Structure 1
């Protein structure tokens, strides 16, 4: 696994673990299963700004332009969480926002269309799978 892929995986794991710990021990009373599980310094490091920077690092590998082999689909993912998709020669066929997920991203177009994209981090050729297309970095 490449160094960026390990960083994305580690960031995703930290975000997931932080989210799991936020609700307590799962019995609905909001108490932690083990009071000594998180020291104050650890709790401070799991604050919202830290999650935002982790999400940003997880997103970093997605940012850029991805294109299918035949050029039928071109996807531009930007750092401001917006995307533009050119499809079958139509520029900006879809545009909207996207959210980085543990294994890829979820684009939501302005017209309400949604999809699930998967980042496949295979050395030396990472790619994105989206709507039946395989997209490579451009």
Structure 2
């Protein structure tokens, strides 16, 4: 049985700038998009940032619930969660299928997977697999 932790805000205190070098190493051709995304994030009020962090945490918990119940990653409800996450990313950046696959692979990097797996062991892999399905089905 999968144990699910339910934090209110998994990202509290997170400084996204600590990922600058790593993001540009993974996606050197996406520097403009990364800068635009940072500018957008910096324009948010503290309340808006916290609201988004809480919503993202809640989405991660929902994904953990799907995983724990054995819901396949290609199930409509799982893909709807991935679609919602993609739409949030799309506000600043429109990754194609290849970039989304690369992003999905980054979730398996221990630095990133540890955060997902704080909610439930195996959640990073589940997200990865669901994102690959989304990239194939939605983005081609």
Into which bin does the TM-score normalised by the smaller protein fall? under 0.3
TM-score, normalised via structure 1 length: 0.25
Question: 1 or 2, which has the higher helix percentage?
Answer: 2
Higher RCO (CA < 8 A, seq sep 6+)? 2
